[in-house]
Amino acid sequence: MSRYRSSSRYRSHNRRSYGHERALEHIRAAEQLSRELGGTDEDVKNYFFSLDSHQLKHILDRYEAQYGKEARAYAEITLPKWKNGNVHMSGMVAERLFNLLPPTMPLEAKFRLTESLWKHAGPSSNKTYYIGLDANPDQVAQIVKAHLEDVVIRYQIPSAMEARFNWLAQGDVNVKQQLLNHFRQQEKALLSEALRVKLPVLLGHLRSENGQLTTHAAEILTVGKHVVNVTCHAKVSGVTDIAPAMPSEAIDLNWIWWIIGIVVLLFVLSG
């Protein structure tokens, strides 16, 4: 009896150890997939679940060829549950399926997956300029334009974007270059539209009826995830990104003496 219990405990321990190791393996696979996709996989999941029956069959055919009929059967049965969220797609299965997507993916879809990651992982900035009533609106426009060009165009591609490019290109240098060109063109177009349309509107709002800059007016210009605040201030000359010093208000000591007197009086009356 004792030998049976010992054997049972041993098998139970082995099952727990195996299950724990499998769980760790799935976690490692999920982390690896996240790194390959650029730090997020939601947009890729959405693309996968949006495939029509013909596209999905093509992916599953390739999945079966690599991992066998049982793996395909499990994927087909579980796919609706993955889609509605009733069952969580393991990192290992997701990695296997998602790595089959890029070779069959249209270039336009790759562009969209580049843009969606940029909205999630792209750099952001927030800059404030203070302008005096003597500032030249053209000078303001040039300074804001130079700042936006610096943050929007002259930046390094983040590592998340580089990983997404590599995953989508799957070793195809031409595809990677096309993705990079599209990405840069999108950013330039966004900047161009902001400078052509939004900046004149911003400066127009800062001017009074006689064409001069108005006191304490403030406007915000947004380009993607970059924000520029432009604030007119009477105590500023020209254009600066240094906030003007606020005048210190003198403290009325009489109020302090009144409070001290009241506290002392209350203390005496209570005694």
**pLDDT per residue over 128-186, tens digit each?**
998 887 878 788 888 888 888 888 777 677 788 888 899 999 999 999 999 888 887 87
Residue 257 domain flag: no
- Please report the pLDDT score of residue 250 as a whole number: 46
Residue 265 domain flag: no
Residue 256 domain flag: no
Shared-domain flag, residues 83 and 190: no
Residue 233 domain flag: yes
Shared-domain flag, residues 169 and 85: no
Shared-domain flag, residues 141 and 81: no
Shared-domain flag, residues 18 and 62: yes
- Please report the pLDDT score of residue 27 as a whole number: 63
Report the alpha-carbon distance of residue 26 to residue 131 in Å, rounded: 56
Shared-domain flag, residues 142 and 91: no
Shared-domain flag, residues 151 and 92: no
CA angle (88 as vertex; 169, 110 as ends), nearest 5: 20
Q: Could you give the number of structural domains in the chain?
A: 2
Shared-domain flag, residues 145 and 235: yes
What's the pTM? Answer: 0.63
Report the alpha-carbon distance of residue 18 to residue 15 in Å, rounded: 5
Shared-domain flag, residues 127 and 191: yes
Q: What is the pLDDT along the chain (271 residues), one digit of tens a residue?
A: 555 555 555 555 455 565 556 556 656 766 777 777 777 788 898 999 999 999 999 999 999 999 999 999 999 999 898 888 888 887 788 888 999 999 999 999 999 998 888 877 777 788 999 888 787 878 888 888 888 888 877 767 778 888 889 999 999 999 999 988 888 787 778 777 777 777 777 777 776 666 666 666 778 888 778 888 888 887 888 888 888 876 554 445 565 555 666 655 565 566 5
Average pLDDT, the chain: 78
- In 3D space, the residue among 84, 166, 75, 151 whose CA is nearest the CA of residue 117 turns out to be 166
Shared-domain flag, residues 73 and 128: no
Identify the domain boundary among 104, 136, 151: 104
Residue 9 domain flag: yes
- Please report the pLDDT score of residue 15 as a whole number: 54
Classify 250 in phi/psi space as left (phi over 0), alpha (psi -120 to 50) or beta.
beta
Shared-domain flag, residues 128 and 80: no
Residue 260 domain flag: no
Shared-domain flag, residues 88 and 6: yes
Residue 136 domain flag: yes
CA angle (112 as vertex; 45, 44 as ends), nearest 5: 10
Residue 10 domain flag: yes
Report the alpha-carbon distance of residue 180 to residue 228 in Å, rounded: 26
What residue numbers bound the domain in which 37 lies? 2-104
Shared-domain flag, residues 93 and 127: no
